[in-house]
A and B are shown apart, each in its own frame.
Chain A
Amino acid sequence: MDLESLLPTLLGLAWLLPLASFAVILFAGPRLGSHGKGAAGVATAAIVGSFVLSLFAFISWIAQHPVRAVAHGDHGAAHASADPAHGATDHADASHASAAAHDEHGGQHGESAAHAGSPVHYSGDWYTLYEGGRLKLSIGWYVDALTVLMFVMITFIATCIHVYASGYMHDELHDITDHEVHLADGGHLHRPGRFHRFFQALSLFCFSMLGIVIAGNLAMVFIFWELVGICSWFLIGFYYERKSASNAANKAFIVNRIGDFGMLIGLMALWGALGTLHFADATGPDGHVRPGLFTLVRPPVAGHAQWVPDGMVKFAAAEKVERVLLSHADDPRAGVEQVEAKVEDWRDEGYGRWLLLVAGLGIFCGCIGKSAQFPLFVWLPDAMEGPTPVSALVHSATMVAAGVYLTGRFYPVLTPDALLVIAYVGAITLFIAATIALVANDIKRVLAYSTVSQLGYMMLALGVGGWLAGLFHLVTHAFFKSLLFLCSGSVIHACHTNDMRKMGGLAKAMPWTSGTMLVGCLAIIGAGVPFLDIGLSGYYSKDSILAQALLFARENPAHSILFYAVAGGAMLTAFYMFRLWFMTFAGKPRDHHVHEHAHESPPVMVYPLVALSILAVVAGWTLPGGFGIANMIEQARPAGTGGLELGGLLFSAFTVPAEHASHAHDIHVTASLTAFATAATGVLLAALMYVWGIIPPAMVASAVKPLYTFLANRWYFDEIYRFLFVLPVLGLSQLVSGTDKGVIDRMIEGLAWGAKQVAGFDAWIDRTLIDGLVNGTASATYSAGLELKKLQTGQLRQYVMFIALGTVAIFVLAGLLFRSSFAG
């Protein structure tokens, strides 16, 4: 079977297996084993199946498309002179030249993918939801190296977490007394366990997440985007009896809606102007090729340089189009031709550039919500109310990375202005989140803010032109962050508290957990040896981000703050991660009660830690010969995004530098040294404060008390949002409900009252007049009967008398009346 039909089959099955597991648990959940214990087995079997299928797809991919080093190598070595064609593009007018020179398909993907035509990809539709006119909605696939890699990454982490969760959630197998829920009678909530429901939601989540990754068009992305949103809601609110959990779930859902609103605007802009949401070109049954988004925005005709698609130009210049068509009213065909001829002029005049920007920023809005970027990051720390395996899978490794993934997938459509916005949003996010993480005491919250901060890194990397750096960091981060969360879950499992101030000295009690967590911490701070270029996974990804940010800062001195944000963020990361590790595992126990009960977690929870820690170490490595995650992602680089791009619609002109230029020796070395120095400073500072106690943390806190309070209160974001948005909305809704109750209800009640009065009057008329008439007739008849019955004396003789006299009277009367006739 060739790859074209093999990959959709394999990945499609891998995608649907968790759905099957969801269905099985949904319908047979509590009957699977005792107390639904079998649910874990079903879900784990499904995700393991997905992993095996993904791995098979991965192997067949690399067999067909060998992953080799890109022309410029990935670290060090000679770059600029290695390939004259690429060298020429370094500072020339962008992709026009480069892509034209390398417009090739298939064949030597490994080498040419970076700057050549479209990357190797397979796309198609499984099922068409709707088709009318030029609009088509479908469930389809878009598979390239990135998709395959994401499948393996997601299913691997999900497998680890399923195994881990089957140990972590064992409490849910029996009835549970939730000590965090205080009932009105002072007691605690007692409820049945929900083991199977956890795995049911987890399976649905895996299905939805894989759906986003495999999606062949933005509409499908949006569908699964919302599905992961609802799964996140289920899982954050897993302990929904706790007020904090249900609030956190609602907060996550509502905050994400805000971002999704922007995403809808982006979708509408694309669909309205271009009439397609497909990523790739599609060949219809009639052999007609419908160009996808990527082709429309970066057509091969223009050498894969970004331009405003015809549809958007015409859409934006609708008035001019109308005028031209009207002037050719007698010959519509000539009018259409005239419009087509003028599109080029209008494009040069700048029509549609704003529309393209709005489309890009709109889609990015959805990513802001999902990937917890400033200003919508407030939901993610609260989302830690969910069980820890959920935090590890959904809220650090996969779902929140979906925003970064989509930004990366959607990269060709983003204009330089949009990229700069993304970079700044990322920079602000990474800085704010890192500062808050410095003072957080809840172990999971530190990790949550760290996640937000790292997502900021990825966004910044994408924004400054580091497409590969951002997505590379996405993959490596997924491994070490899920590892960190699972370690924290293991600690919480042992200590029954989230508060780091009660921990300390746990390294002896939990050797495996502390060891693997140390690996995770080292990976996240990007530990490595600068000149030997050896390090943990984070070292490579973070270095490439730093290098790209540095390059961007050099090209655009006005934006050098982006580099300082990254460098400063690296130091903060190192500080808070090691603060976490030292406070938890090093030093002396602070709370003996906690310390005595601490124990290593069961093997079912430790194995995933080990597996993930191995990947946290090696995920960034590039094997001799070029095989490595970075080079594999490079295979999927969208056409035309390797070169320089000039911006300047929103901001004064700036340059988005080509990514391979960041591999230049001086940039690379400066970046690695900066990374090493900042990380070492951070770790040293943490050690000084929390291990050796040379600088007592309490003293620091009191020395900068206002700042400390500011950070401890999370920059007062929740309070500001409460004041700015929540309270006005509540006030407005109170006003509306007041209007409803005070005006509309009153009006309706008044109408009802009026109707009641009318009815009362009507009833009165009915009772008095009509009933009176009827009753009066009846009683008159009755009394007449009473009177008449007196005639019925029963005296026979009297009757005879009456008859006789009556007869006589009749004769008398008749005689009087007819006298004349008698008389003749």
Chain B
Amino acid sequence: MMDFFVAPSILLPGLSMPSCLATVPLFAANPFTEPVGVIHYLVVGAVLFTAGIACMTLKRNALGILMGIELVLNGANINFVAFSSSYLRGEGAPTLGLDGQVVALFVILLAAAEAAVALAITLNFYNNHATVDVDRADDLKG
């Protein structure tokens, strides 16, 4: 099962996955008994991500959806940060280094910009429809 959580990070650019996979086995032991490492962060990110997706799909309130988006982005951010930390990765393991931090900062910036645009759309939508229910926002229905 853990394959699936790892998969997004393997696809990230700049990461030579085969070598990392070869050196650091993912499932060395029971995670609950192990000291906190990358795996734990990844699990938290995955939970956040899943919660965000669920929020986006299930909420009808546009603001709720926006919050879901924030969750998804932050779930991804946690992964970046985790992979950039040499502490978490262990001695001698390859990391993203500062690149991961920078990407995370960019994502935060992007999220802020996106939130600003999305909120503006939402506000306009509200002005036009007197609601923020996305199910009502089917003007683009084919």
Contacts and interface: CB of A to CB of B under 8 A. Distances in A.
A796 B134 contact: yes
11 contacts: A790-B142, A791-B142, A794-B139, A797-B56, A797-B59, A797-B65, A800-B56, A800-B57, A811-B4, A815-B7, A821-B18
Contacts of B58: 797
Nearest to A788: B142
Contacts of A815: 3-4, 7
Interface string A787-802: 0111111111100110
Interface residues of A, number: 19
Contact of B53 (A788, A800, A821): A800
B37 to A, nearest CB: 20
A225 B40 CA distance: 129
A801 B135 CA distance: 13
Interface of A: 788-797, 800-801, 804, 811, 814-815, 821-822, 824
A796 B65 contact: yes
A535 B93 CA distance: 160
A794 B65 contact: no
A792 B139 CA distance: 10
Contacts of A791: 142
Contact of B3 (A788, A789, A821, A822): A822
Interface of B: 3-4, 7-8, 10, 18, 21-22, 53, 56-60, 65, 68, 134-135, 137-142
Contacts of B142: 788-794
A468 B121 CA distance: 127
Contact of B60 (A797, A821, A824): A797
Q: Which 4 A-B pairs have the closest CB atoms?
A: A789-B142, A794-B138, A792-B142, A794-B141
B7 A795 contact: no
B18 A797 contact: no
A638 to B, nearest CB: 112
B134 A797 contact: yes
Nearest to A785: B142
B134 A793 contact: no
A795 B62 CA distance: 12
Contacts of B56: 797, 800, 804
A804 B3 contact: no
A679 B8 CA distance: 145
Contacts of A822: 3, 10, 21
B60 A814 contact: no
A792 B140 contact: yes
Contact of B57 (A790, A801, A814): A801
A801 to B, nearest CB: 5
A287 B109 CA distance: 118
Contacts of B53: 800, 804
A800 B53 CA distance: 8
Contacts of B60: 797
Nearest to A792: B142
Nearest to A790: B142
Contacts of B7: 811, 814-815
A801 B8 CA distance: 18
Contact of A797 (B3, B8, B22, B135): B135
B4 to A, nearest CB: 6
A363 to B, nearest CB: 100
A811 B6 CA distance: 11
Nearest to B6: A822
A824 B26 CA distance: 13
A697 B21 CA distance: 152
B138 A793 contact: yes
Contacts of A821: 18
Contact of A824 (B21, B59, B139): B21
Contacts of A824: 18, 21-22
Contacts of B3: 815, 822
Contact of A800 (B21, B65, B140): B65
Contacts of A801: 57
A792 B141 contact: yes
A795 B136 CA distance: 8
Given A795-B135, A800-B57, A822-B21, 11 more contacts: A788-B142, A792-B140, A792-B142, A794-B137, A794-B140, A794-B142, A797-B56, A797-B57, A800-B68, A824-B18, A824-B22
A822 B11 CA distance: 12
Contacts of B137: 794, 796
A791 B138 CA distance: 12
A191 B65 CA distance: 102
A33 B62 CA distance: 105
Residue from the set B18, B134, B142 with the largest chain A CB neighbour count within 10 Å: B142
Contacts of B141: 792-794
Nearest to B139: A794
Contacts of A811: 4, 7-8
A816 to B, nearest CB: 11
Nearest to A814: B7
A441 B3 CA distance: 137
Contacts of A804: 53, 56-57
A790 B138 CA distance: 12
Nearest to B141: A794
B1 to A, nearest CB: 12
A824 B25 CA distance: 11
Contacts of B140: 792, 794
A272 B128 CA distance: 108
A808 to B, nearest CB: 8
A795 B133 CA distance: 10
B122 to A, nearest CB: 11
A712 to B, nearest CB: 105
Contacts of A793: 138, 141-142
A794 B18 CA distance: 42
A60 B16 CA distance: 133
A691 B28 CA distance: 166
A516 B58 CA distance: 137
A822 B68 CA distance: 31
B59 A795 contact: no
Contacts of A800: 53, 56-57, 65, 68
Contacts of B10: 822
Contacts of A788: 142
Contacts of A795: 134-135, 138
B76 to A, nearest CB: 12
A295 B2 CA distance: 135
